[in-house]
Amino acid sequence: MIGFVRVATLALSLVAVPVAAQQAAPAAAPVPAPQPTPALPRVALETSVGRFVIEADIVHAPISAGNFLKYVDGKRLDGVSFYRAVKIGDHFGFVQFGPDGEIKRLLPPIRHEPTTQTGIRHTDFTVSTARFEPGSARGEFTISIGDQPSFDADPGKPGDNLGYAAFGHVVEGQDVILKVFDAPVSPTATLRGAFKGEVPVTKVTILTARRVK
């Protein structure tokens, strides 16, 4: 009996040896530290009534923001004007600037980026690209005064319901935008027969548009 116990004990020890000899599982690889989000590009626009700065969101709206930066880098916005100011109420409406159809300044149209895709809503001082049908946007830019949800894409609306393509915000010089917005408009002037009651008496000129280094 004693011999049997010794044999059994020896057998158990022989079984246990490989288990004990197994190497410990390798430690999990360290999780890399999160990388800081790159700073979004900013553009300073010097105008005849002051300076304002637009931050272009190339992360969420790369096509629309990239298009705006092409106009800036090509100096295609130097000398253009704020040609439209729509004042629906106190701090509620929008202003518009760009080449106003001046062919030599225009780049090819871009693919439309709706707000349902980018997540950038038309809140106060949001900058977006104006358009006719989707995919026709070029170099006319709109700045919202007050929240403008009617510019957002809404699948429940009739028509193409894709809204404007928001791509950035005025982050400095909002007071300059309000000067443009609150300036007098002509009750009779139009632009090629359109925008009656929305054409500024004295247009504010963008002297230069340059990236902020």
Give pLDDT, residue 63: 98
pTM higher than 0.75 = yes
Write down how long the chain is: 213
Give pLDDT, residue 28: 64
Give pLDDT, residue 99: 97
Give pLDDT, residue 213: 87
- The whole-angstrom separation of Cα 72 and Cα 190 is 27
What is the mean pLDDT for each group of 10 consecutive residues in the chain (213 residues)? 43 42 57 70 98 98 98 98 97 98 96 97 98 95 97 93 97 98 97 95 97 94
- Strand ranges (E), the chain: 42-47, 50-56, 81-89, 92-98, 126-129, 141-145, 165-172, 185-186, 199-200, 204-211
Give pLDDT, residue 36: 60
Q: CB of 131 within 8 A of CB of 112?
A: yes
